[in-house]
């Protein structure tokens, strides 16, 4: 009897252990490529499973479903090269015919217990991702969590069509973004001195923080009792109310530095270089000394509440300046700009440099001519504002790279300020119903962010998931919250560059290319242009387009311009950005 009870106990313990263990994944693939999953899959912190298929002409067969860590190389292919994951920079220009694509399947979905759909599942975001998306209007997040019921079919994914996301939280998580930027109104929380109302922000910030996403809180909109009593509300916060602002900041940081919020990044006012009286646009342009004084009070208050907090200089527009009577490339004859060019200089001159952890600016490609005009022999100088030396500093390049180099080098050369650089707004138009505009936005999602990494920018925030009542149409979702092509491009960007850091820029005629590498030294190229790239030694390339479609190119096969099995693969670039990896 004792033996029988002992055996029964052992069996019971064994059965309980099976019940508590992770479900086994029984995955089968039929000849028609339909997938069945007989047990529910839990993808906490896991990379989505990818379905990969190639045509018979490529002489590669993949009959199982593979989990591709960080969208890495396909592991089951044989390779004749002993030098894996390298890029030979002896790359030549060719004018051969464009590549022919192999068979392609979507690469950015997760699978659930449903054989007819590819289902969006929550996965814990990779917090190290430098690519973030702003939630422009927190009021669009409901006060309580809604269960996701949306899905994206494979056919719809390839066509760039999907059902609307039920909430912005679903969209933010599905994008793969490492974090978000949100706008917080001081006056909404402390409408009267020492009378705090936290519930509205608690309900929304908790939904973001509990998913592991990082948050930049942009603090703005002071209460009326802290503003000037004159007809103009410039500058925000009168000096007599700075102690009350410090008190509020301590309460704010102490509340939101802990779970479930976990806020570690604080930005002090939006576009403070604006000269207008609209609070949300900064209204401090001509008041650099006032802003510097505010920093000297706010920074110690935030750090006393959380020494690990990161305090960002308010993201300055830093273009369309007051002396500009036009908006470059868009609006010749427009009114003079609302942004004061010397605002950051005057903040630093007034002693503000010790009171922030990172420089911060916004960038929109319409203003590229302002920054691309600087070339060797015509470099900017430190001869303004009054009292600075006439030293020149390096500037130039293209697009976001040009503005980042100008701003960083001016602060370093003219003021001795060497701090990390963040971009808390990056955007491009994507007008609904205009296929060319939507395609341009999708391409720029990748190009702009990649250029930012090449410029040494630490974090880049796309503006935005949605932008209510904004005619610029820079958001990545349509008004009904269904994805634009740019949203899929952002997903591809975060997936393909997860775990990779910028390594170097290729110097190839008619090709703009950037090399990224992971900790193991494995490399991936992001490139576009009109020339060709030659990878050697190489037996196969994995090429991913902006929609996440994967193509396998073999040495001598379809897509190899030289058409010969010679240990190298020649790839034709286009205006579309591609992610390319040797394996």
Q: What is the CATH number of the domain that holds 196?
A: 3.20.20.80
**Same domain, yes or no: 23 and 164:** no
Query: Could you tell me the maximum CA-CA distance found in the chain, to the nearest angstrom?
Result: 98
- Contact between 227 and 277 under an 8 Å Cβ cutoff? The reply is no
242, two tokens:
């700075």
CA neighbours within 13 Å on the CB side: how many for 567? Answer: 8
The pLDDT of residue 52 is 29
**Same domain, yes or no: 165 and 276:** yes
With respect to residue 159, please indicate whether it lies within any of the assigned structural domains. yes
List the domain range (segments joined by +) for residue 36: 2-71
**Same domain, yes or no: 155 and 28:** no
The pLDDT of residue 126 is 46
How far apart are alpha carbons 129 and 544 in whole angstroms?
19
**Same domain, yes or no: 346 and 446:** yes
The tens place of each residue's pLDDT in the chain, 583 residues long, gives 444 555 555 555 454 444 444 333 332 333 333 223 223 222 233 333 232 232 222 222 222 222 223 333 332 222 233 323 334 333 332 322 223 222 222 222 222 222 222 222 334 444 579 999 999 877 777 765 543 333 333 333 333 334 677 788 999 999 999 999 999 999 999 999 999 999 999 999 999 999 999 999 999 989 989 988 765 667 778 889 999 999 999 999 999 999 999 999 999 999 999 988 654 456 888 899 999 999 999 999 999 999 999 999 999 999 989 886 554 445 445 567 889 999 999 999 999 999 999 999 999 999 999 999 999 888 999 976 555 667 899 999 999 999 999 999 999 999 999 999 999 999 999 999 999 999 999 999 999 999 999 999 999 999 999 987 788 999 999 988 999 999 999 999 999 999 999 999 999 999 999 999 999 999 999 999 999 999 999 999 999 999 999 999 999 999 999 999 999 999 999 999 999 999 8
Task: Give residues with Cβ within 8 angstroms of 231, minimum separation 6.
Answer: none
With respect to residue 328, please indicate whether it lies within any of the assigned structural domains. yes
**Same domain, yes or no: 320 and 383:** yes
**Same domain, yes or no: 246 and 382:** yes
- Contact between 48 and 35 under an 8 Å Cβ cutoff? The reply is no
pTM to 2 decimal places: 0.76
**Same domain, yes or no: 65 and 130:** no
CA distances from 389 to 377, 381, 409, 413 (A): 18, 8, 14, 10
Q: What's the structural domain count of the chain?
A: 2
Task: Give residues with Cβ within 8 angstroms of 435, minimum separation 6.
Answer: none
Q: Which of 50, 71, 92 is the last residue of a domain?
A: 71
With respect to residue 143, please indicate whether it lies within any of the assigned structural domains. yes
With respect to residue 59, please indicate whether it lies within any of the assigned structural domains. yes
Beta bridge mates, 381:
392
With respect to residue 64, please indicate whether it lies within any of the assigned structural domains. yes
Beta bridge mates, 375:
378
**Same domain, yes or no: 200 and 52:** no
**Same domain, yes or no: 462 and 378:** yes
Task: Give residues with Cβ within 8 angstroms of 462, minimum separation 6.
Answer: 131, 132, 133, 134, 426, 427, 445, 449, 476, 490
With respect to residue 314, please indicate whether it lies within any of the assigned structural domains. yes
Neighbours of 464 (CB within 10 A): 22
With respect to residue 234, please indicate whether it lies within any of the assigned structural domains. yes
Neighbours of 380 (CB within 10 A): 20
Residue with tokens 């560059």: 497
Which burial class, exposed, middle or buried, applies to 534 when counting CB atoms under 10 A from its CB (0-12, 13-18, 19+)?
A: buried
With respect to residue 570, please indicate whether it lies within any of the assigned structural domains. no
Helix (H) or strand (E) holding 439: helix 435-454
The pLDDT of residue 469 is 76
The pLDDT of residue 576 is 98
How far apart are alpha carbons 467 and 473 in whole angstroms?
7
């Amino acid at each position: 009897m004792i033996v029988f009870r002992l055996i029964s106990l052992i069996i019971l313990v064994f059965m309980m252990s099976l019940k508590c263990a992770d479900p086994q994944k029984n995955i089968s693939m039929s000849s028609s490529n339909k997938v069945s999953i007989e047990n529910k899959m839990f993808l906490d912190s896991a990379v989505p499973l990818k379905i990969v298929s190639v045509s018979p002409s490529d002489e590669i067969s993949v009959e199982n479903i593979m989990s591709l860590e960080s969208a890495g190389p396909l592991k089951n292919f044989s390779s004749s090269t002993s030098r894996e994951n390298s890029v030979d920079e002896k790359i030549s220009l060719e004018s051969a015919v464009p590549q022919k694509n192999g068979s392609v399947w979507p690469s950015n979905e997760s699978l659930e217990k449903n054989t007819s759909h590819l289902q969006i599942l929550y996965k814990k975001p990779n917090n190290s991702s430098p690519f973030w998306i702003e939630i422009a209007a927190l009021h669009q997040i409901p006060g309580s969590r809604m269960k996701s019921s949306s899905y994206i079919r494979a056919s719809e994914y390839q066509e760039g069509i999907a059902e609307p996301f039920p909430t912005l939280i679903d969209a933010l998580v599905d994008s793969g973004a490492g974090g978000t930027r949100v706008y917080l109104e001081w006056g909404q929380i402390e409408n009267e001195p020492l009378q705090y109302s936290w519930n509205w922000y608690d309900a929304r910030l908790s939904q973001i923080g509990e998913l592991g996403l990082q948050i930049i809180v942009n603090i703005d909109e002071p209460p009326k009792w802290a503003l000037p009593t004159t007809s103009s509300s410039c500058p925000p916060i009168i000096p007599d109310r700075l102690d009350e602002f410090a008190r509020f900041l301590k309460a704010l940081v102490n509340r939101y530095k802990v779970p479930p919020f976990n806020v570690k990044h604080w930005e002090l006012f939006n576009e403070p270089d604006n000269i207008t009286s609209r609070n949300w646009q900064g209204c401090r342009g001509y008041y650099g000394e006032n802003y510097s004084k505010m920093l000297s009070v706010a920074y110690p208050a935030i750090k006393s509440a959380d020494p690990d907090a990161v305090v960002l200089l308010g993201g300055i527009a830093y273009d369309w300046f007051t002396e500009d009577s036009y908006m470059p490339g868009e609006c010749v004859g427009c009114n003079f700009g609302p942004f004061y060019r010397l605002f950051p200089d005057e903040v630093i001159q007034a002693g503000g440099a010790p009171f922030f952890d990172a420089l911060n600016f916004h960038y929109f490609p319409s203003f590229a001519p302002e920054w691309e005009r600087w070339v060797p022999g015509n470099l900017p100088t430190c001869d303004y504002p009054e009292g600075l030396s006439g030293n020149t500093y390096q500037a130039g390049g293209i697009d976001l790279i040009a503005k980042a180099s100008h701003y960083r080098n001016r602060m370093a050369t003219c003021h001795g300020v060497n701090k990390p650089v963040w971009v808390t707004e990056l955007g491009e138009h994507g007008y609904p119903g205009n296929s060319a505009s939507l395609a341009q936005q999708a391409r720029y999602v990748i190009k702009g962010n990649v250029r930012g990494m090449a410029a040494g920018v630490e974090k880049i925030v796309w503006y935005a998931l949605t932008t209510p009542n904004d005619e610029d149409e820079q958001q990545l979702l349509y008004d009904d919250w269904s994805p634009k092509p740019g949203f899929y491009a952002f997903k591809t960007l975060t997936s393909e560059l997860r775990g990779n850091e910028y390594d170097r820029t290729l110097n190839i005629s008619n090709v703009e290319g950037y090399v990224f590498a992971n900790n193991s030294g494995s490399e991936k190229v992001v490139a576009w242009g009109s020339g060709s790239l030659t990878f050697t030694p190489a037996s196969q390339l994995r090429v991913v387009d902006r929609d996440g479609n994967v193509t396998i190119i073999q040495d001598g096969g379809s897509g190899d311009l030289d058409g010969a099995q010679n240990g190298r693969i020649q790839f034709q670039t286009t205006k579309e950005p591609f992610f390319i990896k040797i394996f």
